[in-house]
Structure 1
Amino acid sequence: MPKPSLNDLTAFVAVATHRSFRGAADELGTAPSTLSHAMRGLEERLGVRLLNRTTRSVAPTEAGFRLLGHLQPALAALDDALNGVASFRGKVAGTVRLNAPRLAAALLVRGVLPAMAERHPDVTVDLVAEGKLIDIVSGGFDAGVRLMGSIPRDMIAVPLGAPLRFLCVASPAYLKRAGIPKTPDDLRHHRCIGHRLPGGRLYRWEFERAGQALTIDAPAAVVLDDEDLMVEAAVRGLGIAYVLAPAAAPALKAKQLREVLSPWLQYAEGVAVYYPGHRKVPPALRAFLDVAREVGKRR
């Protein structure tokens, strides 16, 4: 049996990841009909169906999922090997387009970007800060930065340091008026500032103490989709906010906010740079990822 070509395997990963011949064709710069023909040829050579096709969708079969799971890291490792010789061509240059929420963008500006500017001055980092979770591939971005829990499973993630703690915060005026909650259940009697996730649902507040874990659907008096605005709403006395520690740090330092329920707040979540594992990683992006890894290890 002739072995499949690298082009066919790369095409399969693109189709299986996009769940669309058109999306994969846009990425690879070819026609959907060409990819469809290539996938039929690949299935014939392997003697197994890899994709279930309907008039509206494409999805991997069980065999397709298994092959995809092996190919993604293998192709990523191949890209690493090829990009490893980039330094022998001279200075790394180019543009890296990134998408990140404002809090994550601030982490980059404070840590990764200064190191990047010093080490690779010929690389331009084009950073778009927005809260909405988007498809970075269709949006034309090389990579994104998100909380680990919101990164799609088909992406490769590079952690940006230690996980970040969540805090419950409120203004002194609000706490004087409404009282200080002693347990997460007390939140049911408070005004809370809800967090609308990119997918549309409200974030559920997570607590833990002495091995006891609780998840609360906090009663939202105000719902926002931006952590900076959530902190501002808490400062204005609109209620209790559940936010990442770096977002609340300036207001806490200025004593505009106070922490509540601290013994229950052990939950933390990591932030990571993520990028498609099935695409060739350009030297500029590879350089950025290497710097991000180094900075992350120091945090």
Structure 2
Amino acid sequence: MRTTDLSELAAFDAVARHRSFRRAGEERGVTASAVSHAVSNLEARVGIRLLNRTTRSVSLTDAGAMLLARVSPAFGDIGLAMDGLNQFRDTPFGKVRINAPSSIAPFVLGPFLGAVIKANPRLELEIVTTDRLVDIVEEGFDAGIRLGESLRDGMTAVKINPRLRFAVVGAPAYFTRRPIPRIPADLQGHVCLQNLYPSGVRYPWEFTKDGRTVEFQPTGPVSSDDHDLLLRAALDGVGLAYVWEDRAEAHVRDGRLIRCLDSWCAPEDWLYLYYPTRKYISAGLRAVIEAMRA
């Protein structure tokens, strides 16, 4: 088979897995139109429509589903074989795609980026941040970062630094009207901003001390899944915010925010860098793991 045929099959495989020309193009490092052109060439060559396309969706025809079932495992084996070559290479190089939560990415990845790139000048890191749960295999990532509680089966997980904590903060102007809370129960008398998951579900503020865990569900006038917005509202005196302590640290240090209930804010569960168990570890990914390992 010609190289062009393999390229067209690879483009079809990517579109079929992602159900998206755009995401297939991102995975392959080309434009969506280039992927579409490759798939159209393949369909013209075999004389059968493989994909149904509309302006909003992509789906497989019966013929396309049969082809995907045969070629996808083959491309998986090719990928494993190429990954396996990295064990013979001493110097990490190439691209490593990492997915990380937007809310913590600057504090988790920021401190190590400069050092790992300086130590591995042929390495390229592509970091995509989002707080939604991502299937790293389906979306073409080499690894992801999550709290241990949200890891899925079939993944190898490596504990990484740092271990983060939440902080409850409010502006000095806010505390001219209300006393600083000393225990979680005191929050009942305060305006507390609400935290959302990307799905829109509200999650409680959680506190732990002396083996006792307490949850408090805010009912304040502002709710968001963006910690920067919640922090901005707290700085403006709207109410108390529950955010990652690293995000609030500079404002606490310069006196623009006051931290409360510090002794009740225990470290969160460990963060993990995770990747598919069945995949060989490339030299590049191994360099990232060693740089971040706790």
1:30–1:93 CA distance, 2 compared to 1 (3 A): farther
Amino acid at match of 2:258: R
Q: C-alpha separation between the residues in 1 aligned to 2:162 and 2:105? A: 16
Matched, 1:216 2:216: yes
Equivalent runs, 1:151-162 vs 2, <5 Å? 151-162=151-162
Matched, 1:261 2:231: no
Q: C-alpha separation between the residues in 2 aligned to 1:137 and 1:279? A: 10
Q: Which residue of 1 aligns with 2:143?
A: 143
Q: C-alpha separation between the residues in 2 aligned to 1:242 and 1:232? A: 12
1:110–1:219 CA distance, 2 compared to 1 (3 A): same
Equivalent runs, 1:32-51 vs 2, <5 Å? 33-34=69-70
Q: Which residue of 2 aligns with 1:290?
A: 290
Amino acid at match of 1:127: I
Q: C-alpha separation between the residues in 2 aligned to 1:218 and 1:159? A: 31
Matched, 1:89 2:89: yes
Q: What RMSD in Å do the two structures reach over aligned CA positions?
A: 3.3
Amino acid at match of 1:124: E
Amino acid at match of 1:147: L
Amino acid at match of 1:218: P
Q: C-alpha separation between the residues in 1 aligned to 2:162 and 2:114? A: 19
Q: C-alpha separation between the residues in 1 aligned to 2:150 and 2:176? A: 36
**Superposed displacement of residue 206, structure 1:** 1.1
Percentage identity across paired residues of the two chains: 33
Aligned length: 229
Matched, 1:127 2:127: yes
Q: C-alpha separation between the residues in 2 aligned to 1:173 and 1:285? A: 47
**Superposed displacement of residue 110, structure 1:** 3.5
Q: Which residue of 2 aligns with 1:172?
A: 172
**Superposed displacement of residue 209, structure 1:** 2.5
1:226–1:146 CA distance, 2 compared to 1 (3 A): farther
**Superposed displacement of residue 258, structure 1:** 0.7
Amino acid at match of 1:251: H
CA deviations 1:118-166 (Å, max 9, x no partner) are 2211010111233333222222222222333333344322222252222
Contact kept in structure 1, 2:148 and 2:269, CA below 8 Å: yes
Q: Which residue of 2 aligns with 1:237?
A: 237
**TM-score relative to the length of structure 2:** 0.66
Provide structure 1 residue ranges, at least 5 long, that are not aligned to the other structure.
1-21, 36-78
1:235–1:153 CA distance, 2 compared to 1 (3 A): farther
Q: C-alpha separation between the residues in 2 aligned to 1:222 and 1:234? A: 10
**Superposed displacement of residue 292, structure 1:** 1.9
Matched, 1:227 2:227: yes
**Superposed displacement of residue 270, structure 1:** 2.3
* Partner SS for 2:202: coil
Q: C-alpha separation between the residues in 2 aligned to 1:102 and 1:153? A: 23
Q: C-alpha separation between the residues in 2 aligned to 1:241 and 1:232? A: 9
Q: C-alpha separation between the residues in 2 aligned to 1:33 and 1:139? A: 18
Q: C-alpha separation between the residues in 2 aligned to 1:135 and 1:113? A: 23
**Superposed displacement of residue 288, structure 1:** 1.7
Contact kept in structure 2, 1:209 and 1:264, CA below 8 Å: yes
**Superposed displacement of residue 223, structure 1:** 1.0
Q: C-alpha separation between the residues in 2 aligned to 1:241 and 1:143? A: 31
Provide structure 2 residue ranges, at least 5 long, that are not aligned to the other structure.
1-15, 19-23, 28-64, 72-79
Q: Which residue of 2 aligns with 1:42?
A: none
**TM-score relative to the length of structure 1:** 0.65
Contact kept in structure 2, 1:208 and 1:267, CA below 8 Å: no
Q: C-alpha separation between the residues in 2 aligned to 1:112 and 1:31? A: 43
1:162–1:98 CA distance, 2 compared to 1 (3 A): closer
